[in-house]
Amino acid sequence: MVSYKELGLVNTREMFAKAVKGGYAIPAFNFNTMEQMQAIVQAAVETKSPVIMQVSKGARNYANATILRYMAQGAVEYAKELGCPNPQIVLHLDHGDTFELCKDCIDMGFSSVMIDGSSLPYEENIALAKKVVDYAHKYDVTVEAELGVLAGVEDEVSSAVSHYTKPEEVIDFSQRTGCDSLAISIGTSHGAYKFTPAQCTRDPKTGKLVPPPLAFDILHEIEKKLPGFPIVLHGSSSVPQEEVDTINKYGGKLPDAVGIPEEQLREASKSAVCKINIDSDSRLAMTAAIRKYLAENPSHFDPRQYLKPARENMKKMYIHKIVNVLGSNDKL
């Protein structure tokens, strides 16, 4: 058993309380590689932002759970080396789907876990989340649970509505689970194709797809029911058009990729939403830079040559999110 406190990590409790009060959101960036980790830490240090580094089950399978844990420990030391004496870094399990996986992460030094029982019947979701909370809280690890299912890209907007979080359930759910934060569904979804062209309208001036707006009415109802309670938004990449264009220009094929407009995320950050999950935008930034570099330098084959611009491009994106979208800069 390793406590995250020995690794220099923090849990989300104080971070979220400050974010809700201050009207900003903490970035939760997924990482699978050393270059992502370096870019996240550099961005957080340069902007003086707290940050959540999150690991999915897929990341554990790809990179190895132990390596990722040591990378997070390394992130704390790296932040100090970059001139940040007291970094606020959370190591979080993203979309944990079993008690055993959450326990394993807690036991190896994670400071926060998500138990995602959102696809289970209501009572089963509560029972699973409560079991994780009971274990996690013994070690002062914070727990994110989820209520409502994120819309899938195939869903019609009308059927997606039925997956939205039901505000009438949030008090009962948060009280009975004892969770520390609640991920809700208000129209975001995972990946680079959040909406089908049929779900969008087209801007007559630019010809670009305009997605349907997030359900701010539901968010505000939830805020009224749970004043000050930390709310989490998953699926919050904005799928920057310039990255998609670069990927497509250099041999990629991402037709009609569309994300959440940043103005809406900016608005959400000012509410009780205090954690915003971004993964796809990092993937796009990395892939765009690598495709461009290799197309322009066909004779190069040293990974450091193309991973360096990839890391720079991700760092630029992370800084942009922190400063211009979430407002978590200058909080350390």
Site string for ligand 13P, 246-285 (x = CB under 6 A): -------------------------------xxxxx----
Q: Give min distance, CB of 232 to Zn ion, in A.
A: 9
- Cα 42 to chain centroid, rounded: 17
Q: Which of residues 228-247 bind ligand 13P (CB under 6 A)?
A: 234-237
237: partner contacted, choices ligand G3H, Zn ion, ligand 13P, none (Cβ within 5-8 A by kind): ligand 13P
Q: Which of residues 236-275 bind ligand G3H (CB under 6 A)?
A: none
279 lines the binding site for ligand G3H (CB under 6 A): yes
Signed CA dihedral, 43, 285, 231, 109: sign only: negative
Q: Any residues with CB less than 8 A from the CB of 120 and at least 6 apart, and which?
A: 128
Q: Which of residues 114-173 bind ligand G3H (CB under 6 A)?
A: none
58 lines the binding site for ligand G3H (CB under 6 A): yes
Residue 273 and residue 231: Cα distance in Å, rounded? 4
Amino acid at site 304:
R
Q: Which of residues 214-243 bind Zn ion (CB under 5 A)?
A: 234
Q: Which of 245, 323, 329, 322 is nearest to 284 (CA)?
A: 245
Active site residue 279: no
Of 94, 116, 155, 281, catalytic: 94
| Whole-number Cα distances in Å, 202 to 12, 43, 195, 197, 205 | 39, 34, 13, 9, 9
In terms of DSSP H, where are the helices of 55-181?
57-63, 65-81, 99-107, 122-138, 157-161, 170-177
58: partner contacted, choices ligand G3H, Zn ion, ligand 13P, none (Cβ within 5-8 A by kind): ligand G3H
194 lines the binding site for Zn ion (CB under 5 A): no
- Cα 130 to chain centroid, rounded: 23
Q: In the bound complex, which residue of the shown chain has the CB atom lying closest to ligand G3H?
A: 58
Active site residues: 94
Residues within the interface to ligand 13P (CB under 6 A): 30, 94-95, 190-191, 234-237, 277-281
